[in-house]
Amino acid sequence: MANIFTQHLKSVNKSYWQHCYFALWFALHMLFCGIALIIHAIFPFLLIETGSKGLEKMIAHYESGAPHETL
């Protein structure tokens, strides 16, 4: 049973809490970007670069393995 909790953590070289923080950080920022893009879809003159810039930052943080800054 412990293996299902540790296998992925070992593969990404993170502790449970590091992984939890990383995943939650990503989820919240994806939600923020998604809401910004929905608003932009309805009102094209609003939030023109918010969604794309946010996604670019998320990709950079993901590739570095340490998303600690806010958008």
**Is position 71 within any domain?**
no
**Is position 59 within any domain?**
yes
Q: Does the pLDDT at position 2 exceed 70?
A: no
- Domain extent for 9: 2-64
**Is position 69 within any domain?**
no
Separation of alpha carbons 71 and 68, rounded Å = 10
Give tens-digit pLDDT for 50-66: 988 988 888 887 787 66
3-state SS of 31-52 is: HHHHHHHHHHHHCCCCCCCHHH
Q: What is the mean pLDDT of residues 1-21?
A: 84
**Is position 45 within any domain?**
yes
**Is position 46 within any domain?**
yes
Number of domains the chain contains: 1
Give tens-digit pLDDT for 14-48: 888 988 988 898 899 899 999 999 999 999 999 99
